[in-house]
Chains A and B, each alone.
Chain A
Amino acid sequence: MFRRLYLLYGVLVLGSVTFAEYRGWSLDSMNQLKNVPKSVRDNPGSYRSVYSSYHHYTGGK
């Protein structure tokens, strides 16, 4: 009984590892954002790292 459970568990673990490696997961901490405006390319200074942590306009430069 334990053996069957462990087999299932092991297959899940190995499956997860395979999936993680295939999809290129990472262990590093990261912030992901959507919709960074194209204007950043022209004005890199306008993009603030803090934009990743709160999503309201702070105003100004």
Chain B
Amino acid sequence: MSVGQPPLQLPPKPAVKALNCPKCGASITLRALGQAVAVVCTSCHSILDAKDPHLQIIQTFERITSTDAPLIPLGTRGKIRGTDYDVIGFQRRSIKVEGIRYAWHEYVLFNPYKGFRYLTEYQGHWNDVAICKEQPIVDTRFRISLEANYLGEEYKHFQTADATTDFVLGEFPWEVRVGEQATLTDYVHPPRVLSREKTSAEITWSIGEYLPGKDIWSTFHLAGDPPEAIGIYENQPCPVSANIKTLWMTFVGFAVVLCVLMIAFEVHAKREPVFHTSYQMNPGMPAGEASFVTEPFELTGRTSSVEISTSAAVQNNWIYLNYALINQDTGEAWDFGREVSFYSGYDSDGSWSEGAQSDSVVVPSVPAGHYYLRIEPEVDRNHPRIVYTVEVKRDVPVLGFYGIGFLALLIPPILLTWRSLSFERARWAESDHPPSAILKTESD
């Protein structure tokens, strides 16, 4: 029977040497840790021999680790999902897609009670990743399923590629080595991504959630700004899409209100006829002499619209009327010209017509009061006399505003839907299932 006491749980103590000034033994200041390291003693100003073996250790280490320095330095502590984690490991992995190598970074986070989490970073896009405890459900008929179901959510296949480990620093829960390979399959349901990692020994599933770079920078108290996120990442949430459905529902609500408004004004509009007279215009009368004023009429009620309609039985002829609606008491006037013209005939395509035998115009916001019209007609002097009728109606709704209102309400949901669609196209353009090129894009 072998009895074993578990060996000391504490890690081995590191062997440490101090860099002291060779002349006076004082502590040394290291400047500009980079390729060139200047080592100066602040007391006696002597310079440490660059061939000092301990200095060599620092320099070699710097050379190796500065090629791909982690954006979050190892040993930094930050809070993820309410728990503190230390960054203890870092690696760079890459995949090759259509001859181009794409590399990303992974950080190992550790909490002695909660265990391990990971952060991935690709072109400024960050994800908070954990190993799945529950097994996702896939379609086992295919070697690579096109869909996966995890905790009740449906994920769509985004990409499958072979990944290689290129660079490793710090600690990992397994002994990662440069050159290690795995087949990675990503399924997305923005903002989450489900990853399947297959090596010869095992299959591991992990679940990630998109994190904006600024959240990482604030929780790890990093200096400066996070790297700018380039392009759209596989599980990056669309800033708009969650709202699209509710936006369209709101639009429908508004459209209904608009209809109700229209009906209400249609029903309540007085359309009160206040003037109706016919006149005759003889050709040959010079302009100015033909001008006349009408009998006054009264416009009642609130300040509202006034519709002035002109009708004339013109046939291949025209009549132009300079109108002025004048307030008898205040001298306020509205001045406008209207044309009534109608042409028709036959040609090779059949009968045609242009214009109309009537015209109407709406004068806006006319206050109540006594009014008359000053009319100055003009006709083609070569045509016979024209009889025309002038009609004035008080309080007439203008349907055009409902059209404008409808279009105005339509613009935001259309704009946001278009933005959301182009966002999704950009997302899937990077996947194994790019959308077909229906429209030519700027990049073509």
**Chains A and B belong together in one complex:** yes
Q: Does B337 contact A (CB under 8 A)?
A: yes
Chain A residues, CB < 8 A from B398: 20-21, 24-27
Expressed in whole angstroms, the Cα–Cα distance for A24 and B154 within the complex equals 55
A31 near B336: Cβ-Cβ < 8 Å: yes
Q: How many residues of A contact B (CB 8 A)?
A: 41
B305 near A24: Cβ-Cβ < 8 Å: yes
Chain A residues, CB < 8 A from B289: 45
B409 near A26: Cβ-Cβ < 8 Å: no
A17 near B247: Cβ-Cβ < 8 Å: no
B331 near A6: Cβ-Cβ < 8 Å: no
Chain A residues, CB < 8 A from B302: 22
Q: Does A55 contact B (CB under 8 A)?
A: no
Contact pattern, A 36-51, Cβ under 8 Å of B = 1, otherwise 0: 1110110011011101
B261 near A21: Cβ-Cβ < 8 Å: yes
B395 near A24: Cβ-Cβ < 8 Å: yes
Q: Does B334 contact A (CB under 8 A)?
A: yes
Interface residue SS majority, chain B: mixed
Expressed in whole angstroms, the Cα–Cα distance for A26 and B364 within the complex equals 5
Expressed in whole angstroms, the Cα–Cα distance for A51 and B366 within the complex equals 20
Q: How many residues of B contact A (CB 8 A)?
A: 55
Contact pattern, B 343-379, Cβ under 8 Å of A = 1, otherwise 0: 0000000000000000001111110000010101000
Closest B residue by C-beta to A1: B243
Knowing A30-B335, A47-B291, the reply to whether A17 touches B402 (Cβ < 8 A) is yes
Chain A residues, CB < 8 A from B251: 6, 10
Knowing A23-B303, A23-B304, the reply to whether A3 touches B333 (Cβ < 8 A) is no
Knowing A25-B305, A44-B292, the reply to whether A6 touches B408 (Cβ < 8 A) is no
Chain B residues, CB < 8 A from A7: 250
A14 near B254: Cβ-Cβ < 8 Å: yes
B405 near A2: Cβ-Cβ < 8 Å: no
Contact pattern, B 246-263, Cβ under 8 Å of A = 1, otherwise 0: 110011001001100100
> What residues make up the interface of B, taking CB atoms closer than 8 Å to A?
240, 243, 246-247, 250-251, 254, 257-258, 261, 265, 288-289, 291-293, 302-306, 322, 324, 326, 328, 331-337, 361-366, 372, 374, 376, 395-398, 400-402, 404-405, 408-409, 412-413, 416
